[in-house]
Amino acid sequence: MSELKQFRFEQVLGFYINRVSYLMTEEIEKRFAQAGLNIVAQEFAILMRLFQEGDVPQAKIIELMMRDKTTITRRIDGLVKKRFGGTNDEPRRPSSFQHSPH
């Protein structure tokens, strides 16, 4: 138990990696907003992957982004709603997502 009392979360490298990731995401989204872009960092990351990979199945986006299906579906729905792309399937269960010029 004394080891646990001596443990300092702030001394763990993962703590700082997570913190830097959070701060970078916050900064990127602030810059998007300043530029008048209605997009969040994860949506932008999906669009960049599509730009690099071409139109891909949702399962591939999940793999590339290392996120769960629910999160990616929510992000794709957001992109469709913002007219950054569309799906070739029913809206709630897209099998593929295509980006569109915005």
Q: Is residue 99 part of a domain?
A: no
Domain presence at residue 6: no
- The answer as to whether 47 is a domain residue is yes
Domain that holds residue 82: 11-90
pLDDT at 83 over 80: yes
**Rounded Cα gap, residues 84 and 58, in angstroms:** 15
CA distance 57 to 72: 11
Q: What is the pLDDT of residue 94?
A: 46
Indicate which CATH number applies to the domain containing 59. Answer: 1.10.10.10
* Cα–Cα distance list, 56 to 50, 64, 68, 94, 100 (Å): 7, 10, 16, 11, 13
Q: What pLDDT, on the 0 to 100 scale, is given for residue 55?
A: 81
Rounded to two decimals, what is the model's pTM? 0.72
Q: What is the pLDDT of residues 24-76, one digit of tens each?
A: 999 999 999 999 999 999 999 999 988 888 888 889 999 989 999 999 999 99
Please report whether residue 3 resides in a domain.
Answer: no
Residue 15 lies in a domain: yes
102 in a domain, yes or no? no
Number of domains forming the structure of the chain: 1
Q: Which two tokens stand for residue 84?
A: 């950054």
